[in-house]
Amino acid sequence: MKETFYKGAAGNLSMHSVTLALAALAVNGVAVASANLPIGTQITAVRIINDALGADTEVTAQVVSRNGDSADLAAFSTVAAGDGVTYIKPHYVGDEGPSDLVVKNTGTGAATGEVVLQIEYRYKGY
């Protein structure tokens, strides 16, 4: 993390990029993109660049807290190769402790191929 791409008076905006190779990720299966996002991280956007992952596939970027609670950030259809960006209501990693960034297959078919997941975030502090 800590790849700053904007520095301004209102704070810095950073991007975290992860490449995942999915091998027949089952329906409702989860692949961890990044473990232990630190407390104080505020996620503001999710980007994806993906191969065609298979018929009836969709992936959802989620943040999962250490107690197992999950929050959906954005969902993307991955039937065809493509890219997309979704600006979201800021999600703050706070009292629930360090959280994992995961990709969940929320479609109805197994997902196979490469996904590049990028999150825009800023560090607000605790």
Q: Is residue 115 situated within a structural domain?
A: yes
What is the residue whose two structure tokens read 């980007």?
Answer: 47
Residue-wise pLDDT for 30-86, tens only, equals: 999 999 999 999 999 999 999 999 999 999 999 999 999 999 999 999 999 999 999
- SS3 call for 42: strand
Q: Is residue 87 situated within a structural domain?
A: yes
Encoded tokens for 73? 């950030």
Of the candidates 54, 55, 37, the residue with the CA atom closest to the CA atom of residue 46: 37
Q: Give the residue numbers spanning the domain of 90.
A: 17-123
Q: What is the CATH number of the domain that holds 82?
A: 2.60.120.230
Q: Contact, 53 vs 115, CB < 8 A?
A: yes
- How many domains does the chain fold into? 1
Rounded Cα distance, 3 and 79, in Å: 30
Q: Is residue 75 situated within a structural domain?
A: yes
Q: What is the pTM of this model?
A: 0.89
